Amino acid sequence: MLKPNHIIAPQPPHRQPEIEIMLDEVFGLSRQTKTSYRLREGEQAVDGLSFIMTSEQDELLGAISFWNLRIGEAGTEALLLGPLAVDPAHRGQGIARELMQYGLNEAARLGHRLVILVGDEPFYARVGFKKVPDGQLLMPGPVDAGRLLYLELVDGALAMASGLVLSPRRYKS
């Protein structure tokens, strides 16, 4: 449950430098070499699906974004969740879960069907993510298959997705 003194709002462009600093603190400077970052390279986050959480004093507590993906020869549409980050000084307060639930609810409201991410299953399972069946989705770079997770916003959405995961601009129809 969102604390009364916490506010979730769309990510404003002027906060991006502050968000980048937080992401560096949370994930380290090498974060941009990871496959998930490579999928986002040259792309824009989905309109209406990037959020920040702030305190009532406007302190940045966390941030989340979603990105469009295309999967396999059929070009099945999906979202990539991430990055999701919480300021280290505010961990353990449920901020990540609140941001995820808010973002996932908005994604469903906007008609998206499937969300994938690379992350720790025990953490993301709290909002319903599960491990992708071995070999069903292939990432375009190194990823521990045990960390490739999905959440269906519409029942049966994963069954429609199979093959290589790509950013929309790299997908050739």
Q: What's the 3-state SS for 111-173? A: CCCEEEEECCHHHHHHHCCEECCCCCEECCCCCCHHHEEEEECCCCCHHHCCEEEECHHHCCC
Average pLDDT over every residue of 140-151: 94
Distance of CA 103 to the CA centre of its chain: 9
- What's the confidence (pLDDT) of residue 173? 59
| CA nearest neighbour of 74 among 141, 166, 156 | 166
Structure tokens at 153: 């916003």
Asked if residue 88 has a cis previous peptide bond (ω within 30° of 0), the answer is no
- Residues 3-59 have pLDDT tens digits of 778 999 999 999 999 999 999 999 877 776 678 878 888 899 999 999 999 999 999
Cα–Cα separations (whole angstroms), residue 141 to 99, 103, 108, 145: 27, 26, 28, 11
Domains of the chain: 6-170 (3.40.630.30)
The total number of residues shown for the chain amounts to 173
- Among candidates 92, 102, 90, which has minimal Cα distance to 66? 102
With pLDDT > 90 as the criterion, what percentage of the chain qualifies? 83
Distances (CA, A) of 6 to 20, 26, 64, 92: 20, 20, 15, 14
User: Can you give the pLDDT at residue 99?
Assistant: 97
Cα–Cα distance for residue pair 2/122, rounded to 1 Å: 21
Please give the radius of gyration of the chain, using alpha carbons only, rounded to the nearest integer: 16
Question: Tens digit of pLDDT for each residue in 122-142?
Answer: 999 999 999 999 999 999 999
